[in-house]
Structure formats: structure tokens, C-alpha cells
Amino acid sequence: MAKRILVVEDNDLNRKLFCDVLKSQGYVVEPVADGREALGRAREFVPNLIIMDIQMPEVSGLDLIEEAKADPVLRPIPVLAVTAYAGKGDEERIRDAGAEGYLAKPVSIGPFMAAVKALVERTG
């Protein structure tokens, strides 16, 4: 059974890149461009992993991670946070919000896939 990954990313090119790479590795992928739809889609799609952009126009990925971790249905799903604005203390704040993984953009495919595989394996 293929593992399912929800990709929450407002940037069209990044979203397409993440989805194409994941599909090429055999994952079933659900792209979400608008962060406001992310948690509703996660409840419907029930992914094995959520890849979450942090800087989005309508809602912060940080807030979405905190919301997901407060939801009994979504809490067990690991979150890989991806952000272009990696400043001092950002990774700590993102991990404190509940993200199990963290990558700074621009993302290289090797580390991206290693992080995805490590988190997906945790979900059995």
C-alpha cells in the first residue's frame, strides 16, 4: 500500500516539484495551495505525512502545525516543515509547535527524500 503525503505549499513551482519528486518515488500525493484548506484536506485524505510550508499568505504554517497537533485525529501524523525564512531560532520554534522534521529552502532533493522517508517510516 502506497504511503500518502499531503503537500501544503502556496508556491506553484515548489508544490509541483515536491509532488513530482514524491510521485516518482511511489507516494500518493495530495497538493494543497491554500493553507486555509490544509487541515480539512488532511482529515479527508488521512496522509502518512504532511509537508508544511511555513510562510504562506493567508495563514502561518506554524499555526497550522499547532492546530494539527491539538486535533486528536491529526496529532499522530508527522509534519515536515519547509521554510525559506530560516532564521536563528526558527527551527526551534517550528519543532516546539510540533513539527517532527525541518528543512530550509531551497531544498535539495537528497535531503528532502531522506527526511520524507525517515518520517513516513515512523507511521508504519
Position 1 scores a pLDDT of: 84
**123: pLDDT strictly greater than 80:** no
Q: Does the pLDDT at position 45 exceed 70?
A: yes
What is the per-residue pLDDT across 58-104, written as a single tens digit (0 to 9) for each? 999 999 999 999 999 999 999 999 998 767 888 999 999 999 999 99
**In the block, residue with C-alpha cell 508527522:** 78
Topology (CATH) of 4-84+99-107: Rossmann fold (3.40.50)
| Maximum separation of any 2 CA atoms in the chain, in Å | 39
Query: DSSP letter at 45?
Result: H
pLDDT band at 124 (very low <50, low <70, confident <90, very high): low
> Could you tell me if 92 and 4 are in contact, meaning their C-beta atoms sit under 8 angstroms apart?
no
